[in-house]
Amino acid sequence: MKPDTTMVNAFDPTRTAGLAPEDRALIQRRGKALGPAYRLFYEEPLHLVRGEGVWLYDAQGNAWLDAYNNVASVGHSHPKVVEAISRQLATLNTHTRYLHEGVVSYAERLLATMPPEMGHMMFTCTGSEANDLALRIARSYTGRQGVIVTRLAYHGLTESVSEFSPSLGGFVQRGARVRLIDAPNALFVPPAEQGAKLAADLAKAIAEMRADGIEPAAFIVDTIFSSDGLYPDPAGFLKPAADLIRAEGGLFIADEVQPGFARTGDRFWGFQRHGITPDIVTMGKPMGNGFPVAGAAIRPEVVAEFGEKARYFNTFGGNPVASAAGMAVLDVIETEGLQQNAREIGAFLKQGLSEIVRGRDDIGDVRGAGLFLAMECVESQSTNKPNARLAGHIVNHLRRNGVLISATGPGANILKIRPPLVLQKPEATRFLEAISAAVAAA
């Protein structure tokens, strides 16, 4: 039975022995109030009450190094972001049907980080909404219905978007207009062949789609393939597939919720690493550092007819407080040099991880770009068979020793390391020490 990746790092609610009485009581209340669909992280759940920078604190004041959170991308409770939100909330919060300088200035500044072909911004509250909107626009522009994604992609939770988010699990049915292709694979496909294979797989999916009477509207990818297992390299391998979908009459949509906003270090956006200008760029989580801000950047010609014939309004998307939060995040990334920090500290972590696992037969690969890294646990390098047991051990050993990461991938065996962009060398060294101990204890 394949591992359920929705449960790879989840607490088993039947195993509460050993937990503090107050946490057991809260877990029971949580289950009763929120229902059965929610999950908690880790074998021993965390009861967090405060965050600051790269640190999270529990109810007893214990500190946890957050090496997983891309929502608070510029650090938990960053004072400049908190101040910007508070000031604007105390002044005015309405919506985009009134004129307001904030949303226009924020849209202009976001678009300035992208190629000039990306001419318009449309705002939502979540990445799910952004991808939902992108799909509506793509289908309107092309007059087509088909969507192609990678085999374990995650693009959101709305009904239409969940249909092409196979990482949600088999219970969430794939839409009839959706086709899946293999993600890149660092262990089984040589780097020089990644681009050609991805394009060939896309061509096959298009042919199968057409055999069913469906024309492709869009190929959408998370440009770092985070749910599939994190595959950032070689830079440029995405371009043949992006060129192909356009040649076949569809659009290329870059989902930048995970790799965007300077996380990869060498570029501000993940698609820029591949020399591509998308038709639509979607974004979310890290935009507001925890405040719900999301949106889509779009080529003007792609949205022209949609904008003329279909009204778009989102009560909270692009509101003055959201715009203030987003502008403050851009300020912090720029003034604190966080793109350069992601590049430098990410390289330090990648080198440290490689040294820790050197000579081990049960680690198949260490890879990453900037402050987004992965370590692939295998049974042995001769087979590279996924080792979810080892990944689970390392994740929970780290949790017991004050460091937080998670795991991903179709085999639930790929460690996902994604700290806030403000991580500094002392904290990075602390992380490497902790993961060294976890690997040694395996």
- Domains of the chain in sequence order: 46-74+337-440 (3.90.1150.10), 79-335 (3.40.640.10)
Edge-to-edge strands, sheet with 414-417: 363-368, 373-377, 414-417, 406-408
- The model carries a pTM of 0.94
pLDDT tens, per residue, the chain with 442 residues: 343 444 567 788 778 878 888 888 888 898 889 998 888 888 888 899 999 999 999 989 999 999 998 899 999 999 999 999 999 999 999 999 999 999 999 999 999 999 999 999 999 999 999 999 999 999 999 999 999 999 999 999 999 999 999 999 888 888 899 999 999 999 999 999 999 999 999 999 999 999 999 999 999 999 999 999 999 999 999 999 999 999 999 999 999 999 999 999 999 999 999 999 999 999 999 999 999 999 999 999 999 999 999 989 899 999 999 999 999 999 999 999 999 999 999 999 999 999 999 999 999 999 999 999 999 999 999 999 999 999 999 999 999 999 999 999 999 999 999 999 999 999 999 999 999 999 999 8
pLDDT reported for residue 5: 42
pLDDT reported for residue 175: 85
Tokens (6 digits) for 87: 């000031």
Q: Note whether 263 and 236 are within 8 A (CB).
A: no
* Separation CA 403–CA 435 (nearest Å): 9
Three-state secondary structure string covering 271-318: HHHHCCCCCEEEECHHHHECECCEEEEECHHHHHHHHHHCCCCCCCCC
pLDDT reported for residue 3: 38
3-class SS at 415? strand
Centre a 10 Å sphere on the Cβ of residue 66 and count the other Cβ atoms it contains.
Answer: 23
* Separation CA 394–CA 201 (nearest Å): 34
Q: Note whether 121 and 300 are within 8 A (CB).
A: no
Tokens (6 digits) for 262: 């300077």
pLDDT reported for residue 44: 85
pLDDT reported for residue 1: 32
pLDDT reported for residue 8: 61
Phi/psi for 108 (5° steps) reads -60, -40
pLDDT reported for residue 281: 98
